[in-house]
Amino acid sequence: MRQNAISVLRSISIRMPLLIYGAEIDDEKEEITIDNFENLIDTASWDEFMPTCEYDEIGTDGKKRKIKRPLSKAEFRRFKKYYDPDIFIAAAKRIRQMVRNADEMPVEQRISRIADIFSTFRNPDKETVLTPWRVVNMHMSDTLGGYTFLNDDFTETIEEPRFVDRGNVTAEVFNPQTHLLEINSKTGLYPLLLTYNAYRTRLRNEWTSPKTIEEHQTIWDAAVRDNVFVICKTRMAKSITRRTLLGFRPGKANMWAPDDLINKIKNQPKLFIEKVYDLVGKNVKINAIVGNPPYQEEGENTRKAPIYHLFYDIAFKLSSKVTLITPARYLFRAGQTPKDWMEQILSNPHFKVVRFHQKSAEIFDNVDIKGGVAIGYYDSEREFGPIGFFSEYKDLKNILNKVLQHPSFTRGGLANIVSSQGIYRFSELAISEVPAILKVQGKGTAAKIVSQSVEKLPTVFYLTKPKDGRDYIQILGLVNNQRGYRWIRRDYIQPVDSLDSYKVLVPEANGTGAIGEVLSTPVIGHTDTFLSIGKFASAEEASACLKYVKTKFARCMLGTLKATQHNPKSTWANVPLLDFTSESDIDWSQSVADIDRQLYAKYGLSEDEIAFIESMIKPM
């Protein structure tokens, strides 16, 4: 309990500085205290920014269950006693005074100071990812161009902003009459850089050079008022963004924080578009849309539905130029993003990937996004050619092309003989003779044999084969978190076509999705928790398939579609389906390493392509 309280306290404390930074107070002479802090934040913003905690709840059936929801204001009051009131007031004063001091600086210095302040704010969690200033600069420079405050490799800030010219794109986007939209501002750093570029464009069109900080601020305020438009998910995000753009000075900022941004994007797209044009102006051209949208819906489900693609769709309808930073799973046709959307985006000749990072921590500190992160760029006025198959490695593209065009690929991929997990179920006879099955399984699992079934039903699964004259089969399951074989009566399992065939079994979830990683050891046998490959008549054929799955070549082909820890049936589509009999052109009696060499020769791989596989794919 104590450890849990410490964890909650830490999570609250991480979020406080950003909320203090953006808090709006009617009388700025009033201090922000631990007692009035919660009253400065509306309920929707509080739920958005505060940590999600796990609670026990009694359901209508009288049973206790675990639920997750944001820490409420009432629950926050229980933790206030752990904060020193004087230290809290001093910390709040310091944060806001730094912003006030920045308001009196020249434009470039103020921007650098605001960026420094944000560098002290930490990501609350992976659902509330704060895009670092470094990434904002990298993102904009790679796509739209314009001025950036970092060096060529975006590792260090520089004294004077440098100009990145993306030719006509930069000229079209950054002009005195431009209209630029940030589609989901949390901190205001994207609008800050957009405004700076609009400001510099305005400076070039001034008849006389401004001399004082106030004169420069007048031009800055005009850029904020006329060139930059912002959508925020919450009122607090709107306040934070305004603070970033204007500090504590008066001025107009064009911002909209709808009551339910996700619902409007998802279920009311036409209304959303109307509201955007209410913000920007009727019949006004939006030159570009940028940002880092929400990635997934929040809720109690462990597999949360993706929503970032909906932001792409709505942005495509609003502007001819769109660039967002999102999860990259769609590039590999992986994850829960709708398959038809992934196919459309990968075949869209106007869309390209400007930057891809397999390790999301390279972009967002301490944030693990399976499948990596991608910066996409859409331009309806330019053609880049469809992405089709995506890889950051040229050699991998060449290898896949050779494999897919090889005459033997008419057999298709290994996916054709992969069966999903969940095919084994208890028969009605088993359930009627052993009532404990449903009691252990629960209503949700019912007759399905799952990993825990083997351990929790010792009267059904036997360590040694009983000598009672009945027909038994051996099944692989988990016992004490370790793989273990057990025996079960054949008539206790519903009929399955492949039951009497040899199969290669591979875990459905494995690793992170990084190319070259080792598969958890495949085996031959029966199990319900693994993927099943093949329906072989002999142990020799199954053994050949097992060796094939262990080859670097096969796992390299698997890596073309496996972008996350999951490797379902679809990810095996690019692994060629081969003949595993003695009639095959591959000698399966040889070692895995020798089989790899045969496969390299079969598909005509070059020395560089072979070197790529050998260096990237770990041996098993």
For the segment 545-591, what is each residue's pLDDT rounded down to a tens digit? 999 999 999 999 998 888 777 778 888 999 999 999 999 999 999 99
Percent of the chain with pLDDT over 90: 60
Averaging pLDDT over each range in 47-56, 292-301, 471-480, 543-552, which range is the top one?
Answer: 543-552
pLDDT at res. 1:
40
pLDDT at res. 126:
45
**Claim to verify: residue 140 and residue 228 sit in the same structural domain:** yes
**Claim to verify: residue 253 and residue 383 sit in the same structural domain:** yes
Based on C-alpha coordinates, what's the Rg of the chain?
29
Last residue of a domain, one of 58, 87, 116: 87
Indicate the pLDDT class of residue 371, thresholds 50, 70 and 90. confident
Which range, of 356-360, 401-405, 436-440, averages the lowest pLDDT? 436-440
**Claim to verify: residue 375 and residue 396 sit in the same structural domain:** no
Residue range 86-101: average pLDDT? Answer: 95
**Claim to verify: residue 145 and residue 29 sit in the same structural domain:** no
Q: Is residue 264 part of a domain?
A: yes
**Claim to verify: residue 181 and residue 236 sit in the same structural domain:** yes
Q: Is residue 489 part of a domain?
A: no
Residue 2 confidence (pLDDT) above 50: no
Greater confidence (187 vs 478) lies with: 187
- Mind listing the pLDDT tens digit for each residue in 305-342? 899 999 999 999 999 999 999 999 999 888 889 999 99
pLDDT at res. 147:
98
- Mind listing the pLDDT tens digit for each residue in 124-156? 554 457 899 999 999 999 999 999 999 999 999
**Claim to verify: residue 402 and residue 512 sit in the same structural domain:** yes
**Claim to verify: residue 39 and residue 109 sit in the same structural domain:** no
Residue range 1-19: average pLDDT? Answer: 80
Phi, psi of 102 (to 5 degrees): -65, -30
Q: Is residue 512 part of a domain?
A: yes
Residue 385 confidence (pLDDT) above 80: yes
Comparing C-alpha atoms, which of 154, 149, 151, 201 is closest to residue 173? 201
Q: Is residue 69 part of a domain?
A: yes
pLDDT at res. 611:
96
- Tell me which amino acid residue 309 is: H
Averaging pLDDT over each range in 52-56, 83-87, 499-503, 528-532, which range is the top one?
Answer: 83-87
d(CA 478, CA 608): 42
d(CA 91, CA 46): 20
Q: How many domains, the chain?
A: 3
SS3 584: coil
Residue 249 confidence (pLDDT) above 90: yes
Greater confidence (367 vs 325) lies with: 325
CA 563 to chain centre: 11
Last residue of a domain, one of 61, 87, 113: 87
8 A C-beta contact, residue 142 and residue 375: yes
Residue ranges making up the domain that contains 404: 391-414+508-523+536-620
Q: Is residue 113 part of a domain?
A: yes
d(CA 400, CA 557): 7
pLDDT at res. 567:
74
**Claim to verify: residue 146 and residue 82 sit in the same structural domain:** no
d(CA 515, CA 508): 16
471's CB contacts (< 8 A; 6+ apart) are: 489, 490, 491
Residue range 51-64: average pLDDT? Answer: 71
Distances in Å between the alpha carbon of 369 and those of 32, 130, 260, 408, 563?
35, 14, 25, 36, 11
Distances in Å between the alpha carbon of 7 and those of 1, 4, 55, 369?
10, 5, 14, 22
Greater confidence (514 vs 478) lies with: 478
Residue 442 confidence (pLDDT) above 80: no
34's CB contacts (< 8 A; 6+ apart) are: 80, 83, 85, 88, 89
Phi, psi of 299 (to 5 degrees): 160, -170
Q: Which residues pair with 180 in a beta bridge?
A: 228, 288
Mean pLDDT of the chain: 88
DSSP code per residue over 396-432: HHHHHHHHHHSGGGGG-BGGGGEE-S---BB-HHHHH
Residue range 83-94: average pLDDT? Answer: 95
313's CB contacts (< 8 A; 6+ apart) are: 269, 341
d(CA 199, CA 392): 36
**Claim to verify: residue 518 and residue 611 sit in the same structural domain:** yes
Q: Is residue 307 part of a domain?
A: yes
Q: Is residue 442 part of a domain?
A: no
d(CA 148, CA 475): 60
Phi, psi of 591 (to 5 degrees): -70, 165
- Mind listing the pLDDT tens digit for each residue in 70-82? 888 998 998 999 9
**Claim to verify: residue 512 and residue 575 sit in the same structural domain:** yes
Greater confidence (511 vs 86) lies with: 86
SS3 286: strand
Place of tokens 């919660």: 38
Torsion angle in degrees (nearest 10) through CA of 273, 277, 283, 285: -90
SS3 488: strand
In the chain, how long is the greatest CA-to-CA distance?
101
Please tell me the pTM assigned to this model: 0.78
The CATH number of the domain where 275 resides is what?
Answer: 3.40.50.150
Query: Phi/psi class of residue 605: alpha, beta or left (left: φ > 0; alpha: ψ in -120 to 50)?
Result: beta
**Claim to verify: residue 326 and residue 410 sit in the same structural domain:** no
- Helix (H) or strand (E) holding 262, with range, is helix 261-267
pLDDT at res. 359:
87
Q: Is residue 109 part of a domain?
A: yes
Percent of the chain with pLDDT over 70: 91
**Claim to verify: residue 361 and residue 397 sit in the same structural domain:** no
Which range, of 33-37, 331-335, 604-608, averages the lowest pLDDT? 331-335
Last residue of a domain, one of 46, 61, 87: 87
